[in-house]
Structure 1
Amino acid sequence: MMGVSGVIARISELKEQLGLNPQPPATDPAGGSTFASALADATGGAGRTGSATGSARSGSEVVEAAKKYLGTPYVFGGTDPDKGLDCSGLVQQVYEDLGVKLPRNSWQQATAGRPVASLADAKPGDVLAFDAPVDHVAIYIGDDKMIAAPKPGDHVKIQSVYEKPTHIRRILDDVPTAAVQDMSSLRPAGLRGAAAGGLAGVPYADLFMQAGAKHNVSPKLLAAVAKVESGYDPKAVSKVGAQGLMQLMPSTARGLGVDDAFDPAQAVDGAAKMLHGLLKEFKTVPLALAAYNAGGGAVHKYGGIPPFEETQAYVPKVQKALAALGG
């Protein structure tokens, strides 16, 4: 039977014959991560968790890719390195250079990959996110330093990690492919639940799962409401003053015990609490959705979905989003 070293040698031989000129594998006394790197590289990154579409990558490569953009001007909304980048534009561009697709916005990037418990556990290449709601991201390079596009008038530079990140996300992992058949077993429990619930890849999936379980509401329904209400934007404000991910009016938020409707965790929990009550009161999802949009009084007054243009459009939109999630 061919051992690990034999497999690695055979992979190298095949790649040489194909003219792929692989880089020499790093030394690994245990053989595990070297085997994973070699096999993942030969199979297009299948040995890594994360979103790599090309060869397997490492955190150190992320740091080196980020250093290429040092000095690039900060431009709000910038995604073109030749013109300028904002914080999330920098993070997205660096990972894109390595064949890894990340969402565009900082708050979305704060849900990518898997969580890291603390800065002490962070590794080079991890994404650091700041504030609640998240409004800034950077790439950790080690020794309490990060590469970031800080603010207008500034440029991409190396900084100290000046405050405790609210989220730390590991996009790339070294996982021995041969040792793992079901990669979902490597996800934290919250993400495993999200994947099992059909919310894999949905922003804030872990919050929908947690609030759904707490208040006995379908996580898919919560996700569908968030998609229609705000497009998963925790900073959204409507023309009538509804706020945050779940578009709660300030008075409604206070009644639900939500101190900050712009905090995704509070907003989702409050919306789940509200939907639980509406489902209990109106017995059906369409009527509960109509009440979420127009108020329970309007649903009672008209004996069904109120004849308001917005509400008449809102209910089928959420139902369509729910169906798209398999709900």
Structure 2
Amino acid sequence: MIQGIANVQQRIAQLQTQLGLNPTATNPVTVTKNDSTTAATGSFASALTAATSTGATTSTGSATTGNASGAGIVEAAKKYLGVPYVFGSTNPDKGLDCSALVQRAYSDMGVKLPRIAADQAREGTPVAGLDKAKPGDILAFNRPVDHVGIYIGDNKMIAAPQPGEQVKIQSVYAKPSTIRRVVDDAMTMPPPTSAAAGLRPAALGTGGGGLSGVPYADLFTQAAAKHGVPAKLLAAVAKVESGYNPRAVSPAGAQGLMQLMPSTARGLGVHDPLDPKQAIDGAARLLKSNLREFKSLDLALAAYNAGGGAVKKYDGIPPFAETQAYVPKVKAALAALGG
């Protein structure tokens, strides 16, 4: 009975912290809403609105998965290795708790999840057991669920364990109370409609025409028709990324015509980024996801160069010299193509 009361009290404290209602706090708390930090006054209404809008999903398996894959989720989570555990924090510069780590890793791949561990444990579809688990699956522990991690295979997971520790790779120390699969490597994008809902068409050019003389024009046009991303935009990105060189490899390890990093390629299901057809198709899916999420050509291009997490962290084009120069270069190349 005492243990049960303690669990209830811990859960209440967790909710109070996450909703900005911690009665011991002496200063206004901050909450993260779509990665832009705003001050919370501590009122129930404002805190609840901010907290519940972060995930932008219900807990009935309605997360938007886009092109995310299990391997991509794992790679996204690995970026936070070494971040200290801080209960209630969603800011990796300060620390993360277990459910914040899971939420951010999925968000970096374009998948929105609820903030609370118990709600995350209801997303997606159930997995029968650890022997059936795949990389990227959510492992949840205890009843009620009070801890989550991301499975990486070989009985290992990435998790933010507890105070005094850091985000780390560890063995699956106990039988999960539930395992949920939110994304699957076999998943594909929904049928293409508009890659950039809310943007003026003129901002992206007219699509598939006007690529006479451009290398791989037929592949750009095919990807444009398949994914709803303008062919001229794909060609402009390729021009800036590699000068249309399908064998290009950057000092940082980006590969191929569209200069995909190996981890990004794996997350997109691109098995060979040096294959122009695969590279263009993967880049089209990535740009489509960026355009849908950020609803801005500039931010979509910045995310292509620096990653969506960086764009959300800085709430705009990141202050990196390469990214600051990259966006106008692609837009100039797009303009040169008549886009």
TM-score (norm: length of structure 1):
0.40
Greater RCO, 1 or 2 (C-alpha within 8 Å, sep 6+): 2
Which has the higher Rg, Structure 1 or Structure 2? 1
